[in-house]
């Protein structure tokens, strides 16, 4: 199998992959079969803005192999700025299901890293029910703190010894993208940051109705469900994203994709 990485378009200085589910899943499965590292994330507006406002995070994001347009506004931005012609976003929770379906079909073991033990237990049980052939190599909850260098090495070795060929990472944005950037190469396998997919597929967090998702209003649904946690994210970053996007589209501003290389590892775990 040939590993083909989709091209990217600059959205406010962040390289977002011009891809659909088929191309993204094909690349992930090819990397797993070839035993190649692949850093993947699904970015909505919040994830893009983390890179816009933090030059070190911009560096990290632009060195991931695939950055899918998780949110409709990010897809619209690709279409507006680069004529991408994308008809759908590549949403982290749906990408998780698509990859699990193909992994089950191919006999590729998967691993889940992040969240809490109870979430992982329900997540893996639900996915095994949905995909009876899915091989779950293991699951490890987050430490909810930075790890030591020794702990990081232990965790990487534990995942490798489990025989995993694909790892899903659910540490929350932007920590999960930092984790993928710092660890995908050491793991030597595809590592996919999938946001709230763990809670959604564990049945602990409701997803927005499809009609709201299609109109780019999933953020409003999530804001209603988790106002204390999410109000700053959506009420400040969403208008800023739109303003900066219009500046890029009109040519008033150019957004560099360079960033600044981090001078140390974060060791998020």
* pTM over the 0.75 mark: yes
233 has a pLDDT exceeding 90 = no
Per-residue pLDDT for 59 more than 90? yes
Q: What's residue 170's pLDDT?
A: 97
Number of Cβ within a 10 Å radius of residue 179:
29
pLDDT value, residue 205: 76
The rounded distance, in Å, linking the Cα atoms of 218 and 216 is: 6
Residue 30: predicted pLDDT: 98
**Mean pLDDT value across the chain:** 94
Residues 6+ apart with CB under 8 A from 80: 245, 249
pLDDT value of residue 226: 75
CB 81 within 8 A of CB 10: yes
Cα–chain center distance at 185: 16
> 5 or 228, which is more confident?
5
pLDDT in tens, 127-138: 999 999 999 999
Domains, the chain, ranges and CATH? 8-201 (3.40.50.10660)
Query: 83 to each of 8, 31, 35, 238, 246, how far by Cα in Å?
Result: 12, 28, 33, 22, 15
């Amino acid at each position: 199998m040939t590993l083909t990485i989709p091209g990217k378009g600059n959205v406010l200085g962040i390289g977002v992959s011009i891809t659909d589910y088929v191309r993204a899943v094909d690349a992930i499965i090819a990397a797993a079969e070839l035993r190649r590292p692949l850093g993947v994330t699904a970015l909505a507006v919040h994830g893009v803005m983390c890179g816009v406002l933090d030059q070190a995070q911009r560096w990290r994001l632009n060195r991931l192999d695939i950055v899918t347009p998780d949110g409709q506004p990010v897809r619209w931005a690709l279409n507006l700025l680069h004529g991408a012609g994308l008809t759908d976003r590549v949403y982290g929770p749906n990408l998780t299901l698509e990859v699990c379906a193909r992994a089950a079909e191919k006999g590729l073991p998967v691993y889940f890293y992040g969240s809490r033990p109870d979430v992982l237990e329900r997540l893996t049980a639900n996915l095994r029910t949905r995909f009876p052939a899915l091989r779950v190599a293991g699951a490890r909850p987050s430490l909810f703190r930075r790890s030591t260098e020794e702990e990081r090495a232990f965790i990487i070795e534990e995942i490798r010894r489990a025989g995993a060929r694909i790892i899903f990472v659910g540490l929350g944005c932007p920590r999960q993208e930092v984790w993928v950037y710092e660890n995908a190469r050491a793991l030597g396998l595809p590592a996919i940051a999938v946001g709230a997919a763990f809670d959604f597929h564990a049945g602990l967090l409701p997803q927005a109705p499809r009609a709201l998702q299609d109109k780019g209003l999933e953020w409003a649904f999530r804001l209603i469900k988790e106002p204390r946690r999410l109000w700053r994210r959506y009420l400040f970053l969403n208008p800023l994203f739109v303003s900066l996007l219009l500046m890029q589209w009109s040519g008033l501003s150019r957004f560099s994709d360079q960033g600044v290389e981090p001078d140390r590892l974060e060791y998020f775990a």
